[in-house]
Structure 1
Amino acid sequence: MRLRLTPREDSYYDLFADSAGNLVTASRLLVELISEGADREGIAEKMRACEHAGDERTHAIMRRLNESFITPFDREDIYRLASNLDDCMDYMEAAADLVVLYQIDHLPKEVVRQVEVLERAAELTAEAMPRLRSMKNLNEYWIEINRLENQGDQVYRRLLAKLFSGDYDALTVLKMKEVIDQLESAADAFEHVANTVESIAVKES
């Protein structure tokens, strides 16, 4: 394989921005999924398409790493950022898929708050990715993502308390817990993206 001797920085930045934009689409599909009367199977199919598109972008970044001799920042950080973005997508898609597979008709209202946290985290991430070019004005992004993740943790704990309150049968508890666990993991993954961005910005400053 022939190595490029000049950096292809724009392609990395564009791919990261595309990946984050795809997360916004996925998070809004989750909002649709949990709304009353939603075509959940149709939405889950769209989520799978988003997940596939996210995988393609991740693979494109990995291919670029293999082809590039010079990268805009540390290769390990590029790999980690791409993987973290991919994790966000995987967890959201898994949550949507489980809602459909388990035929969960009624989700606790707190799940709406979980999904709202993810939607806002996705929007902030998409806004932040283009700023990687200059490494400026990023600190508010990771601070806000951390705040959102803390909110998500609080909602998750309240959901667990509700699930184990005795209002649900054991099978429903197991099904719902798998869904909210995936949503919680997605919130954690968005924080991992922000932490990686912070690490990159510190190194490049």
Structure 2
Amino acid sequence: MKLRLFPQETAALELLADIAQQSVLAGQILSEMFGARRQDHERIFEELMKIDARTSELQRSLLTQLRTSFINPLPREDLLELSEGLGKSMDQLVAVGEIIVVNRLERMAREASDQLEIVNRQSELTVAAMRGLGRLDELEDYWAEMLRLAKRADHTHRVWSAKAMRELSLGAYARVVEMARALQGAAQALRGVAASVGRIIVKES
């Protein structure tokens, strides 16, 4: 199955790729925050909020594009579903930054960095996948790799939670679990985007 697009039909795919790119940028900002001094966290978090605002702007542009364009590369509802999944990922990444700031966290667990690394890889793959939606027959490997990464994220989450329960006080455990859930939420949201791509592949075959 080959889906060929005219240049004017790719605007929605470019917008989706731009939305996915914001998650890449958010991951970079969080990586910086993880290694920064506590007094720098609020400043870095402001950069994260700018990326979040840009994501919302791009989502609105996509909605306008889908509403006003006569021809779209895929059904409007499928493209909107992908945008919503990317937005959920961004929401979770913003939550990670906010948790760091409001709890005045100074040191991040190694597992937090491991989870963020997984999310960053998922985000990078998703940017390429959004641009490749015009070649659906080439995206099965993306779907499979995202599933593998999501399973790795699940494993890291379980190990991290169990370790925190054994080693931390109740208050510290609550803060760790809150961050772990947000990072896991970002990974699951991106897995959801890949699942949507899988459904599109099957439907358009």
When the two structures are superposed, what TM-score results if normalisation uses the length of structure 2? 0.91
Residue matched to 2:134: 133
Residue matched to 1:149: 150
SS at match of 2:107: coil
Correspondence 1:20 to 2:27: no
Correspondence 1:37 to 2:25: no
Residue matched to 2:196: 196
Kept after mapping to 1: 8 A contact 2:27/2:119? yes
CA distance in 1, matches of 2:72, 2:10: 10
Greater share of residues in helix = 2
CA distance in 2, matches of 1:153, 1:83: 22
Shift of 1:80: 0.6
Shift of 1:68: 3.0
Compare 70-79 and 144-153 and name the one that shifted more.
Answer: 70-79
Residue matched to 1:88: 89
CA distance in 2, matches of 1:186, 1:75: 24
Shift of 1:69: 4.0
Unpaired stretches in structure 2, ≥5 consecutive residues: 1-6
SS at match of 1:34: helix
Kept after mapping to 2: 8 A contact 1:102/1:175? yes
SS at match of 2:127: helix
Shift of 1:36: 5.0
Unpaired stretches in structure 1, ≥5 consecutive residues: 1-6
Kept after mapping to 1: 8 A contact 2:37/2:106? no
SS at match of 1:107: coil
When the two structures are superposed, what TM-score results if normalisation uses the length of structure 1? 0.91
CA distance in 2, matches of 1:40, 1:127: 30
Residue matched to 2:63: 62
Residue matched to 2:102: 101
CA distance in 1, matches of 2:96, 2:18: 22
Shift of 1:21: 1.3
What letter matches 2:156 in structure 1? Answer: V
Coordinate RMSD, CA, aligned: 1.6
Shift of 1:8: 5.2
Kept after mapping to 2: 8 A contact 1:91/1:186? yes
Q: How many residues align?
A: 198
CA distance in 2, matches of 1:107, 1:22: 23
What letter matches 1:155 in structure 2? Answer: T
